[in-house]
Chain A
């Protein structure tokens, strides 16, 4: 409940910050970041995160509804600190706080990829919280898509049919060598992730928000990764990540949406890592 509340507050404050007419915003851009640091991070000091994490996105959001983003840890293997959480903020979106990833203590997740909606020309910030308790920030800039691309569901019927379906996949990481223990996996969750910011043109009622707000992933009983998500995560939330195997035999996923649905599934982990 608290999390939903948090996202609503962030969504509303984002609206207030970006609610100026777009033409005026284009002439006098207002940087929403200081306000977001206050709203999301309680004004905690932000340290330069260039040596801690990296964020990778295409310079142009080709499809406003599906913009890939990759977050990587840049900490050396012998660094005594570890990444506890990474928060992804899309400054100009109606709900800027896209996701907060929490990384399990035992599995050393080194890379996370997901897909987000990008409404406008925007800075995107990634804020890592390390085990030393400090926050480290990096940012990138994304140009909005052109043409008829919109940050909306493409095929409403299909999205509805897919609600709650889950797919898990493992990838080989040949580049890291078979003995490195590095594994790459992906979890896909069928869900329209509706923003609720849309007015029905006939009834003039707002379509209620309906999105995945929590994802938890485990290897056997160790938490690997969890995500608190908002409406800036693309439809059919998709998380691909690299981790160091702890020899677990099962992979388990649980997702919850804002209507209280819980989706769960478990898979066998392929020992070969492929």
Chain B
């Protein structure tokens, strides 16, 4: 009897442990919070690590943030895992109990959307570019498979690919109560579902991955489109920018490094195509002059050159 009593208490302990693992983050005082900085009144940002998504960093490599109005909160990107999303939610709840009315995804890459599931709720609408549902449909299952291998079941099992229901074509204004966010959907550039979010009150622009600083820009939409739209992007009436990756910076001077990289890459690729070089040569040599200027250059440059080549050869 003593033994079975011991077993019961073991089971009880296990049940308590399991229960604590699965209780809602709101009820759990132990829920860690994502470190965020209030860079302007009511506007909070977490600056992601300049790295690839790994098990160790829990996918927390992109900049994410939130804006608090008089009536409601909007979240801009949710991070690279539900764990990061929950930590962002905890950071929000430590500062305000206003409803999270909008979760805005600046595009469909995993480091920006894998935290979405932490925000599912009746009061929350997911917002994205009109092309985002299609991009997520085409890529979501592949991303889950690929990042399961890198980040493990523990982080990926709970990730849900959540398509936006509030779609943006052109521009859309969201009112958080005395505070307007102006969303702009862009033609294909970094990806084919890029969306920016301007907080009119503080003149801060969440640019998503249309702006990279320090972290090498990644071309997954159209390099020519990106270069074409950059003048229009620079006219967004902002004073500072929260890039998708890299530090909060002055606007629009923050675009200079990225523009130089993309122009160099496009010029090098164009020259290789003119000379009849095959695509693999572009991967090995294009934009080599930029190597010392960017972090993660060797992780992305060959891939950018490959994408740029397959686009520019149609000119």
Contact = CB atoms under 8 A, between A and B. Distances in A.
Interface string B181-195: 000000110011000
A254 interface: no
B310 A145 contact: no
A202 interface: yes
B217 to A, nearest CB: 12
Contacts of B222: 154-155, 158
A181 interface: no
Contacts of B142: 64, 119, 150-152
Interface stretch (A7-15, A31-39, A98-106, A193-201): A193-201
A45 interface: no
Contacts of A238: 310, 313
Contacts of B111: 148
B278 A240 contact: yes
A197 B278 CA distance: 30
A200 B53 CA distance: 26
The listed residue with most A CB atoms (<10 A of its CB), out of B109, B111, B139, is B139
Nearest to A113: B278
Nearest to A56: B280
A115 interface: yes
A16 interface: no
The listed residue with most A CB atoms (<10 A of its CB), out of B137, B191, B222, B313, is B137
Interface in A26-73: 26, 58, 62-66, 68, 70
B136 A201 contact: yes
Contacts of B280: 58, 68, 70
A23 B310 contact: no
The listed residue with most A CB atoms (<10 A of its CB), out of B133, B222, B279, is B279
A157 B186 CA distance: 13
A156 B307 contact: no
A188 interface: yes
Nearest to B306: A63
Interface string B127-160: 0000101111111111101101110110000000
A155 B225 contact: yes
Main secondary structure of the interface of B (DSSP, over half): helix
B278 A62 contact: no
A4 interface: no
A83 B279 CA distance: 25
A236 B140 CA distance: 22
A147 B310 contact: no
A63 B303 contact: yes
A200 B133 contact: yes
Contact of B299 (A58, A119, A147): A147
A156 B140 CA distance: 16
Nearest to B134: A156
Interface residues of A, number: 50
A147 B190 CA distance: 14
B306 A62 contact: yes
A251 to B, nearest CB: 16
Contact of A146 (B52, B187, B278, B279): B52
Nearest to A236: B310
B85 interface: no
A22 B153 CA distance: 9
The listed residue with most A CB atoms (<10 A of its CB), out of B52, B145, B283, B310, is B310
A234 interface: yes
B22 interface: no
Contacts of A148: 109-111, 143, 218, 220
B121 interface: no
A23 B153 contact: yes
B299 A63 contact: no
A113 B280 CA distance: 10
Contact of B149 (A23, A64, A147, A150): A23
A26 B149 contact: yes
B297 to A, nearest CB: 12
Contacts of A64: 142
Given A66-B307, A154-B220, A201 B163 contact: yes
A154 B188 contact: yes
B276 interface: yes
A25 B150 CA distance: 13
B266 interface: no
A147 B138 contact: no
Given A58-B283, A68-B278, A155-B192, 8 more contacts: A22-B149, A66-B279, A147-B300, A150-B139, A150-B146, A156-B192, A157-B192, A240-B278
16 contacts: A58-B280, A62-B302, A63-B303, A64-B142, A66-B306, A66-B307, A68-B283, A150-B142, A154-B192, A154-B221, A156-B131, A156-B134, A188-B313, A188-B314, A200-B137, A201-B136
Q: Lowest 7 CB-CB distances: which A-B pairs, in order?
A: A201-B163, A62-B303, A148-B109, A152-B138, A150-B139, A155-B188, A171-B276
